[in-house]
Chains A and B, each alone.
Chain A
């Protein structure tokens, strides 16, 4: 990242005095992904939502009628469902001001060179083509505004029958699979924002892993919002057939604008008998994105679903990845980490629903709130009648580093069966003077010591990430912690 870009996008909240005294800090602590590209498509896109907008999206994509009808039903639910009466303050969202569909390029590319220059440059700056070149990922999807602009899957996986496509193309190429699974995990009227997604969804990934196939290197999707007041509504559907394995990673960034954008995705995952899916998110939206996402997996007999959910950016995030354990011996796991800085509200958590006997789940959630930010863990663990021999554990830890930040815990536990073992535990602590003193007496600066304590705090989650992501996370923490003391 060049200084020039960092300067252009300097956050007005950054303390200039500190920067003057410490020129080496220049560019640190600013959001690094805040540039925007010149764009005509975005500027001209229509604002607001009604039936015509929905019909227009569907016809532009040349969809079958059943999908249009489902979209219209989603729109009805969206219009009539009330805004949530819990969670974060969403009163800043102006649904009439949002652009629901922005087509940035006519043609999906399979080489980076085929992309329009400004879009290509964006992904270069984000380092995506480089990662692909180094074979750190086995498939890449890049979504820019409403549609996936670049798509590539390693040849050997393709020959094994792995499907990795953008969701629009998948609907054309695999209509049967689509009809079977689309909306089966997150139905059309599930919640207000899920319904909105059903109405105006565009882009996202479709993954199918055939029986017994192990995709040993992760598939990666990268989401970028460029237009101001853009709404991004990607729809992801992952089907892991019996005894297969796949790791899907997504990252997200957006420019910094004066007014807000909306990201409302729906992710449905079907994990069949004996399969295992890991879904990793490093969410780093700029601080003017409302991130309201519904993610849910259904886990069959002996299957495992793992959510690794990192929330660092956004203005408001409300996201509770869920696992429905419907087959015996299925297993669900969530590792969640949230950083809430100035002006941010991270309302995150997880939901585990035990429907079959002998299923197990665990949730580990860690959060750090600083500089007036608010982090909340909100979760549900439910054991339905008949789900005997269930085991569950929830551990949430929160770290408060100052006196103006806030940390909340809202864990819901609902047990309807006698033969269960479950527990919830939470601790909230502050960084103690002793810890700081210990490190500082060994020659560390206070900032450095604080960052080290925080790194240690989240280490159990960081070590579950692929290496380059763990490094990225560590770097982000250092940025986040910069100037947090003194």
Chain B
């Protein structure tokens, strides 16, 4: 090609080359965050015909491999479907070497009678609700030196526990947390992540039969923190699980909450709120696995973005398997892009293997705030600046008010205020 191209002049020299901005000879790069060599040059060109790993694609999200053994997860290239939005360079090596530093300290404040236990990784409760489904999670599982366990006693009413997880080191660490809500208990548990850390975390949540648990995971890190957290929940028969992810801080945060049903008649609600500023990468990937009949799920994540290279990724996978008859499910993601230069990715996936369902749907919207709302408020004498704040606050408040812990709600409203004040400056 090169030889011919040089003999052609001007316009003709671009034969077969692309005319669309951002295109190369290979079309678009699907994972611009993780640069990849062209198959016609460098190491990749020495690969076998049809590429190295030409397997059969997984037919379903449910087929993604899970294992406690790190060796079952190949090294990451950044082209994997579940990693292609994550800038691996900024992951602090959590996907490579075993994190060896001590885990951030965990302090408990809450209802009387609750206590944290520190147990060895061979405790029976470790592994009761989760199996790693990605390399970083498996890496953390193997590297964790101990596990922190919180149990809500059977039949407890309105128990409240705030676990402050305070990091003070930029050395890579692994952490393991297990929360067990015994049968017919009702409780609210908050994981409050503050300080700074390079942390790969696994959180297992075992919601037993008839229990009601609200778990709030708050990422209020300083701006240099790197945090991955696999938060896997097993939701028992007739149990109710509410998970609320709130992410403001950190340089890179990648949360992967999931809910798997362990008996019929259970309900899971997964809510989330994120606010990304310039340079922040905030990623939330969740999974609701309907593998039991007559369960309900509802997913709503709302996010705001502002500043150059603020990047949010939201991927919601809802699986409705063959035996999950009578499932009722809905998921939605709404993003508010407040300034230029920010990027919001939103992928609400839905896989349905039975027609015998009550209903299933999903929605995703991305945009700036509603000019009509703004007009409505301004027409009533509110200046534009205040009106904008009110609209954004109202947008995000829908999630905040689902938390049900008054102090925390106040704190989050203040954080939103502070973020908005930063927008205007």
Contacts and interface: CB of A to CB of B under 8 A. Distances in A.
A187 B16 contact: yes
Interface stretch (A23-31, A252-260, A425-433): A425-433
Contacts of B415: none
A129 B171 CA distance: 75
A80 B352 contact: no
A455 B52 CA distance: 45
B368 A420 contact: yes
Interface stretch (B19-27, B184-192, B283-291, B405-413): B19-27
Interface stretch (B53-61, B151-159, B193-201, B390-398): B53-61
Contacts of A86: 57, 81
B352 A410 contact: no
B15 A80 contact: no
Nearest to A424: B364
Given A189-B27, A411-B347, A413-B346, A76 B40 contact: yes
Nearest to A78: B50
A170 interface: no
Contact of A185 (B20, B59, B337): B20
Interface string B1-36: 101100010011011111111111111000000000
Among B14, B22, B50, max chain A CB count under 10 A is at B50
Contacts of A415: 335, 337, 343-346, 366-367
A324 B27 CA distance: 12
B352 A89 contact: no
Contacts of B27: 186-187, 189-191, 194
A407 interface: yes
A422 to B, nearest CB: 5
User: Which of B12, B22, B57, B339 has most A Cβ within 10 Å?
Assistant: B57
Nearest to B343: A416
A83 B51 contact: yes
Nearest to B338: A418
Nearest to A355: B21
Given A409-B350, A428-B350, A403 B356 contact: yes
Given A66-B15, A185-B19, A187-B27, A430 B349 contact: no
Interface residues on B, range: 35 or more
A415 B339 CA distance: 12
B352 A406 contact: yes
B8 A418 contact: no
B342 A418 contact: yes
Contacts of B81: 85-86
B356 A80 contact: no
A124 interface: no
Contacts of B357: 428, 430
Contacts of A182: 15-16
Contact of B57 (A88, A398, A412): A88
Contact of A408 (B38, B50, B338, B352): B352
B96 interface: no
A428 B361 contact: yes
Contacts of A91: 55-56
Contact of B1 (A70, A180, A403): A70
Contacts of B344: 413-416
A25 to B, nearest CB: 24
Contacts of A426: 348, 350, 361-363
A259 B364 CA distance: 42
Nearest to A195: B26
B110 interface: no
B16 A422 contact: no
Interface string A61-96: 000011001101100110111111111111100010
Nearest to B339: A418
B342 A411 contact: no
A406 B59 CA distance: 11
Interface in B352-411: 352-357, 359-368
B44 interface: yes
B25 A188 contact: yes
Interface in B283-334: 322, 325
B119 to A, nearest CB: 39
Interface in A294-346: 298, 324, 326
B18 A187 contact: yes
B380 to A, nearest CB: 24
A73 B1 contact: yes
Contacts of B367: 415, 420-423
A351 to B, nearest CB: 10
Contact of B11 (A180, A326, A425): A180
A405 B354 CA distance: 6
B98 to A, nearest CB: 27
B49 A403 contact: no
A187 B343 contact: no
B69 interface: no
Contacts of B52: 82
A324 B20 CA distance: 8
Interface centre among B40, B81, B338, B352 (most CB of A within 10 A): B352
A179 interface: yes
A411 to B, nearest CB: 6
Nearest to B54: A83
A385 interface: yes
B349 A410 contact: yes
Nearest to B26: A189
Given A89-B59, A428-B361, A430-B357, A298 B352 contact: no
Contacts of B168: none
B118 interface: no
A81 B364 CA distance: 33
Interface string A380-407: 0000110000000000001011111111
Contacts of B364: 411, 413, 423-424
Contacts of B60: 408
A88 B58 CA distance: 8
A430 B356 contact: yes
Interface string A258-300: 0000000000000000000000000000000000000000100
A422 B365 contact: yes
Given A80-B40, A80-B45, A184-B17, A403 B322 contact: yes
A483 interface: no
A419 interface: yes
A436 to B, nearest CB: 13
Most chain A beta-carbon neighbours within 10 Å: one of B25, B53, B322: B25
A417 interface: yes
Interface of A: 65-66, 69-70, 72-73, 76-77, 79-91, 95, 179-180, 182-192, 194, 198, 298, 324, 326, 355, 384-385, 398, 400-431
8 contacts: A70-B15, A179-B12, A355-B21, A407-B351, A409-B351, A420-B337, A427-B360, A430-B357
What 5 pairs between A and B have smallest CB-CB spacing? A82-B51, A400-B355, A183-B16, A190-B27, A80-B39
